[in-house]
Structure 1
């Protein structure tokens, strides 16, 4: 996955990851670090594979094959929270802002315009489930929720995701 490696080594990606780390230095829970991004990527890919949806995803999105599909899924997972630092700083929606940031990073890793659109739409959609969301947006949303073991977290009572019921038993069902 050469393009994913290029993405991970990209200077802009690393700058935004550094900003997230800086903003979360004092946070006790739900860090949006590289491990979280990689977990979301892997879980999203597993969800697609477990439901035998890879061929469907390739055809629906006009992708060139399995490797391109895997790279698109991983890129979406690795970038889904890239705008989180701006949410901390200015209160903007990190999904909306992150989708804009991703549009600058993805071409640098040789993702084509179609792939950029697919990834950025999924990033934009990942916060809230809806009936109109894209295939990848829905998988990314589920993967993001599944990546956190909130029921075991000692800081659960302080968590806004738990308070807003974005994490529930129903989100763990797939």
Structure 2
């Protein structure tokens, strides 16, 4: 996955991840670091594979093949919270801002305009489930939720999301 490697080594990607880290020195819950991004990418890919939908995604999205599909899924996961630092600083929606940042980073990693649209839309959509969201946006949203196991987090008493999450094993079934 050469394009994914280019993405994670991109100077702007690295800078935005550094900014996320700086803004999340306190509180310690729900870090939006590289490990979280990678977990979301992997879980999104697994969700699609488990439902045997990779070929469908590739065909319906007009992608060149399964490798392109995998790279698009991973890129979306790796970029989904790239704008979180700006939300901390200004209150702007990180999904919308991150979608714009993704459009700047992705061409340098050799993603084509169609792929950039798919990834940017999924980043934009990942925060809130809606009836009209894209295939990738829905999987990204679910992967993001599945990436956090909040019940045992030592910071859940301070976490604003903890009170709103249903904490049963059924969360793992999508």
Q: Report if the CA contact (8 A) 1:17-1:82 is conserved.
A: yes
**Separation in 2 of the partners of 1:19 and 1:167?**
30
SS in 2 for 1:38: helix
Distance apart, 1:121 and its partner CA: 0.4
SS in 2 for 1:160: coil
1:124-145: per-residue Cα shift (whole Å, max 9, x none)? 0001111111000000001001
Equivalent residues in 2 for 1:98-109, closer than 5 Å: 98-109=98-109
**Separation in 2 of the partners of 1:159 and 1:61?**
37
Query: 1:96: which partner in 2?
Result: 96
What TM-score do you get using the length of structure 1 for normalisation?
Answer: 0.96
Runs (4+) of structure 1 exceeding 4 A deviation are none
Which structure 2 residue ranges, 5 or more long, are not aligned? none
**Separation in 2 of the partners of 1:122 and 1:12?**
20
Equivalent residues in 2 for 1:104-115, closer than 5 Å: 104-115=104-115
**Separation in 1 of the partners of 2:86 and 2:166?**
23
Instruction: Tell me the C-alpha RMSD between the 2 structures.
Output: 1.1
Q: Report if the CA contact (8 A) 1:145-1:172 is conserved.
A: no
**Separation in 1 of the partners of 2:75 and 2:165?**
23
Return closer, same or farther for 1:20/1:105 CA change in 2, 3 Å cut-off: same
Return closer, same or farther for 1:9/1:38 CA change in 2, 3 Å cut-off: same
What TM-score do you get using the length of structure 2 for normalisation?
Answer: 0.96
Which structure 1 residue ranges, 5 or more long, are not aligned? none
Query: 1:40: which partner in 2?
Result: 40
1:7-39: per-residue Cα shift (whole Å, max 9, x none)? 000000001000000101122211000000000
Q: Report if the CA contact (8 A) 1:44-1:140 is conserved.
A: yes
Q: Report if the CA contact (8 A) 1:142-1:171 is conserved.
A: no
SS in 2 for 1:92: coil
**Separation in 2 of the partners of 1:107 and 1:158?**
39
Return closer, same or farther for 1:112/1:52 CA change in 2, 3 Å cut-off: same
Query: 1:14: which partner in 2?
Result: 14
- Comparing both structures, which one devotes a greater share of its residues to helix? 1
Query: 1:28: which partner in 2?
Result: 28
**Separation in 2 of the partners of 1:91 and 1:168?**
27
